[in-house]
Amino acid sequence: MPIVLPGWRSGTVALKEGLYKCVYTVGGAVGRSVLYVHGGQMLGGNSAFAHFGTYIIREGEIIVEIETRRHNEDPNYPAMLGRDVGLINVKGKFIDGRYCFEGTTPQIPGAVFRSQMWAIDSEAAHAPGAVGEGGIANGLFSIHIRTLDGIDGGLTGVMLLHDGRILGGDAFFYYVGTYTSANGRWKGEMLNQEHTPSKGEIPVFGGYEVGIGFSGTCDDHEAELQATAFTGKRSLRLAAALQLIRKA
């Protein structure tokens, strides 16, 4: 039987637990996302697609199966695999500071799918908040953030909420933070940072490390929040809607 190996040590093939940025190519197309790796599971995504899958270690290789599923109907984000639901099967190893994978997808027969992952956050980086009865569910959510007060801007991505910790992001940014939640309410704070330069494409947030404090309402399947974000020397009011994609 294959064995899942938690953590990572130099000289081993084990997959380190934490948050990663990912770059992948297939059929001439290039995509990016974030992916959280933990206990044999992978959860993440980007502005339009959620990713969830599993990994095992077998005969010196990391074997991964990922499902990708659209969470944002915006036609400006085409499906890289040509369909809104797809499967990816890859194998890989840790090489020169990153994890490198290669494999196939049944959506594009004969094409080679390649991906690379770099760690951007460690498992123990943030102390979690407290979650009580009636608190927000653990799981992978889509998040749609919009700026208020007549300022044109916003972000769409995925956010993993688990026992008071926030991890998530999209093709350019990643989020880390903490929250508390009970009785249909939640509040917290997070830091939005670039993992890939974005200033030319997302001018409101690009080039900044953005601190965000928020509060809002929640239930088992969705949530909303109001927030204040600090970008450089200015502050922005934000609103966001979250929709549960998959419980964790």
Per-residue confidence (pLDDT) for residue 8, from 0 to 100: 36
Beta strands in the chain (DSSP E): 18-26, 29-38, 41-45, 49-58, 61-70, 85-95, 98-104, 113-122, 139-147, 154-162, 165-169, 173-182, 185-194, 210-218, 222-231, 234-247
pLDDT per residue rounded down to tens, the chain (248 residues): 233 333 334 345 678 889 999 999 999 999 999 999 999 999 999 999 999 999 999 988 999 999 999 999 999 999 999 999 999 999 999 999 899 999 999 999 999 999 999 998 654 456 788 999 999 999 999 999 999 988 887 889 999 999 999 999 999 999 999 999 999 999 999 999 999 987 665 666 777 889 999 999 999 899 999 999 998 788 999 999 999 999 98
Are 53 and 68 in contact by the 8 Å Cβ rule? The answer is no
Taking the C-alpha atoms of 49, 54, 57 and 61 in order, what is their torsion angle to the nearest 10 degrees? -30
Judged on CB neighbours under 10 Å (0-12, 13-18, 19+), 26 is buried
**38 and 67 in contact (C-beta within 8 Å)?**
no
Q: Are 150 and 180 in contact (CB under 8 A)?
A: no
Parallel, antiparallel, or unpaired for β 85-95 and 185-194?
A: unpaired
Specify which residues 64 forms β-bridges with. 55, 90
CB 99 within 8 A of CB 77: no
- Domains (range + CATH), the chain: 18-122 (2.40.128.380), 139-247 (2.40.128.380)
**CA dist 242 to 66, 146, 216, 224, 239, Å?**
22, 12, 11, 6, 10
Residue pair 137/186 in contact (Cβ under 8 Å)? The answer is no
Q: What is the pTM of this model?
A: 0.89
Instruction: Name, in order, each residue with C-beta under 8 angstroms of 59's C-beta and a sequence gap of 6 or more.
Output: none
- Any bridge partners for residue 35, and if so which? 20, 44
